[in-house]
Amino acid sequence: MSNHVVLTGDRPTGCLHLGHYVGSLKNRISLQEKYDCFIMVADIQALSDNFDNPKKLAENITEVCKDYLSVGIDPQKCTIFIQSLVPELFELSTYYLNLISVSRLERNPTVKSELKQKSFSSSITAGFLAYPVSQTADITAFKGTLIPVGEDQLPLIEITNEIVRKFNKTYNTDVLLEAAPVLGKVQRLVGIDGKAKASKSLNNAIFLSDSSELIRQKIHSMYTDPSHIKVSDPGKVKGNVVFDYLDAFFDDKNELDSLKLQYKKGGLGDSVLKSILNDNLQNFLKPIREKRDSISDKVVFNILYEGSKIARKVAKETLSQVKDAMGLVYKYD
């Protein structure tokens, strides 16, 4: 096992879906074999967008953890924990807030695009602006050196490393470690409507916990090629959601290539194609769903509490090193 530490996680805003599986969960299942992995259920991070509905987060913590376990993330191999149960992260954030300027945080593209979307720039909260600082606390607390991210999160890792360097330089130490982003191969899965990335809020995703019938219905409603009307018509593969999903989940690539050829030429109807995908995804999701159903809330909470204890021990140690480096230590004997 390498010396690298992986930190990753999800905001508990809802159940996880195939987009999460393709974009991150699959990757974690292999990362846990090679590295020391911390997987964080990021309730505090989620609060910055959901401060008016924390109950939603509390409700979804078990769901997210069940999703983890059902796809094969193994609590014996990695530490799954709840962010808010590691309060040392709050203290680290506070120290880091002094090491970055407001204008630097405002140059974060996520903030910029949020400001563009909102009519008043005034409406972004201080918590939203400070979110990359909080993420820096998360990464550094566990000495995370490999951070699986999407392209859009690369600027956040830059901010993390700027704070790390500033801290180490200011306090003449090497306590904090810089983190390297790990970009996954398949980064996005399109929604069943073909319009955008699969997401809970757009209601265009197939969830790991969806029933067999619901999966069938969602596949049935998938966007294909609107000009492919008769079975004999030639159809487009590109932009065809069914093929996007087959690309992600159908293992026999030779057979998939011949399906694509046939579809392009004409003679392969959407309903046959969709039933191929249905068989494929039903087979894939059935054991996941069965495993998921077999996990009790009690088991999930035990895993989360035990993981949070381990995570807290690590974060405490880092915080202690951080305060030592700063000279913010009061001991009287």
Binding site for a second copy (CB under 8 A): 43-44, 47-48, 51-52, 54-55, 57-58, 61, 82, 84-85, 87-88, 90-91, 93-95, 97-106, 120-130, 133-134, 170, 297-298, 301, 304-305, 326-330, 332
Task: Kindly state the smallest distance separating residue 321's Cβ from a second copy, in Å.
Answer: 14
Residue 107: what residue type? Answer: R
- Residue 48 or 240: the one with the smaller Cβ distance to a second copy is 48
Task: Kindly state the smallest distance separating residue 101's Cβ from a second copy, in Å.
Answer: 5
- Residue 101 or 254: the one with the smaller Cβ distance to a second copy is 101
Nearest to 224 by CA among 272, 258, 165, 296: 272
Q: Give the rounded distance of the alpha carbon of 62 from its chain centre.
A: 16
Task: Kindly state the smallest distance separating residue 149's Cβ from a second copy, in Å.
Answer: 22
- Cα separation, 169 vs 165, in Å, equals 6
Give Cα separations from 53 to 43, 90, 298 (angstroms). Answer: 11, 20, 24
Task: Kindly state the smallest distance separating residue 44's Cβ from a second copy, in Å.
Answer: 7
- Residue 125 or 212: the one with the smaller Cβ distance to a second copy is 125
- Residue 122 or 227: the one with the smaller Cβ distance to a second copy is 122
- Residue 124 or 237: the one with the smaller Cβ distance to a second copy is 124
Q: How many CB atoms lie within 10 A of CB 174?
A: 10
For 298, the token pair is 């009690």
Task: Kindly state the smallest distance separating residue 75's Cβ from a second copy, in Å.
Answer: 16
- Residue 134 or 145: the one with the smaller Cβ distance to a second copy is 134
Task: Kindly state the smallest distance separating residue 151's Cβ from a second copy, in Å.
Answer: 25
Question: DSSP code of 156?
Answer: H
Task: Kindly state the smallest distance separating residue 85's Cβ from a second copy, in Å.
Answer: 8
Task: Kindly state the smallest distance separating residue 172's Cβ from a second copy, in Å.
Answer: 11
For 131, the token pair is 């979110």
Q: How many residues does the chain have?
A: 333
Residue 202: what residue type? Answer: L
Q: What are phi and psi of 197, to 5 degrees?
A: -55, 140
- Residue 12 or 23: the one with the smaller Cβ distance to a second copy is 12
- Residue 255 or 305: the one with the smaller Cβ distance to a second copy is 305
- Cα separation, 271 vs 289, in Å, equals 25
Give Cα separations from 230 to 225, 304, 311 (angstroms). Answer: 11, 52, 57
Nearest to 273 by CA among 299, 229, 243, 307: 243
- Cα separation, 168 vs 278, in Å, equals 53
Q: CA end-to-end span of the chain, whole Å?
A: 42
